[in-house]
Amino acid sequence: MMKKKRLIITPVRVETDFKLRRRGPSRSGAAAAPTYPLLENRPAPLQTGVEGEYMLALKRDLVEFLRDSPAFVVPAAAKADIERYSDRYQAALANRGAGELHMDWARLPQELRPAAGKRRRTSPSAAASKRAKKTVDISNRLDELEKKEEQQSDGEAEGAEDEEEDKEAEGEGEDLEEEDLDEEMDEGTDYINNYFDNGESYLDEDDDNLDDGPVY
Partner 1 sequence: MSTQFGKLCSLILLEHFGEIVQKVGNDLYKCQAKPLSLIVNSTKLPLQKVKQALRVMVKYGFVTFAPGPVPNRAVYTLLPEKVILILRYPRYLLLVKTQYGDEAEMLVEEILRQGQDTASRVIIRAVSRLKESLKEEKVCLVTLRDKFATLVNKQFLMRCPSPGEETGVPVLTIKETLLYLPPDLNLKALSNIEEGKSGDAGDEGIYWRVNLDRFHQDFRDQIMVSAISRRLDDNAGELLRHLLKQMYLRTEAWAATSNPIPFTELREAVRKQSSHPLLGQYVDQYLKIMEEDSSGFISKVGDSSGGQYSINMKTAFIQLTWTTIENIVMERFGSKAARIFRLVRAKKFVEQEQIQQVAMIPAKEAKLLTYRLLEENFIQMQELRKSLSNNVPNKTFFLFHIDLNQVARMVLEMCYKALFNAMTRREHERSENRRMIEKQQRIESITLNMREQGATPEQLAEIEEMLTPPEQALIDKVRTMINRLSEAELQLDETMFILQLYLIYQL
Partner 2 sequence: MTSNEKGGSIPNGEEASGSGSNVEHRIIALARSSTKGISDKDIQTEIPDLRPDQRASIINKLLAQGYFDLFNQGGTLLYKLKDPSRVQKVKGADNEEKIVYSIIEEAGNKGIWIRDIRYKSNLMPTQLNKILKILENKKLIKAVKSVSASKKKVYMLYNLEPDRSVTGGAWYCDQDFEAEFVDVLNQQCYRYLQQLQENTKDCKGGPIAARNISYASSKDVWKYISELGISRVQLSVEDMETILDTLLYDGKVERSISTDGTHLYRAIESLLPPPGIVRIPCGVCPSQSCHGMKEKCHNLERDSNLRLRVLRSGTLPLSYRDHLAKGLELSFHTGDSVIEYCP
Report 186-215 residues binding partner 2 (CB under 8 A): 203-204, 206-207, 209-210
CA distances from 166 to 17, 103, 108, 169, 178 (A): 65, 18, 20, 5, 19
Q: Name the residue nearer to partner 1 (CB basis): 93 or 143.
A: 93
- Minimum CB separation from partner 1 for residue 12, in Å? 15
Q: By CB under 8 A, what part of segment 10-29 binds partner 2?
A: 10-12, 14-16
Stretch that binds partner 2, among 56-64, 75-83, 102-110, 157-165 (CB under 8 A): 56-64
Nearest to 67 by CA among 88, 92, 90: 92
**HSE on the CB side for 48, CA within 13 Å?**
2
Q: By CB under 8 A, what part of segment 90-109 binds partner 1?
A: 91, 101-104, 106-109
d(CA 208, CA 191): 21
Question: Residues 73, 193, 77, 182: is their CA dihedral positive or negative?
Answer: positive
Q: Is 202 among the residues that bind partner 1 (CB under 8 A)?
A: yes
Stretch that binds partner 1, among 5-13, 71-79, 136-144, 145-153 (CB under 8 A): 71-79
Q: Is 29 among the residues that bind partner 1 (CB under 8 A)?
A: no
Spatial neighbors of 122 by CB under 8 A, at least 6 apart, are 102, 104, 105, 129
Own/partner contacts of 117-123, CB < 8 Å, gap of 24 or more, are: 117/174, 118/171, 118/174, 119/167, 119/171
Q: Name the residue nearer to partner 1 (CB basis): 1 or 20.
A: 20
Taking CB under 8 A as the criterion, the residue among 29, 49, 188, 214 binding partner 2 is 49
- Residue 11, contacted partner among partner 1, partner 2, none, CB below 5-8 A by kind: partner 2
- Residue 153, contacted partner among partner 2, partner 1, none, CB below 5-8 A by kind: none
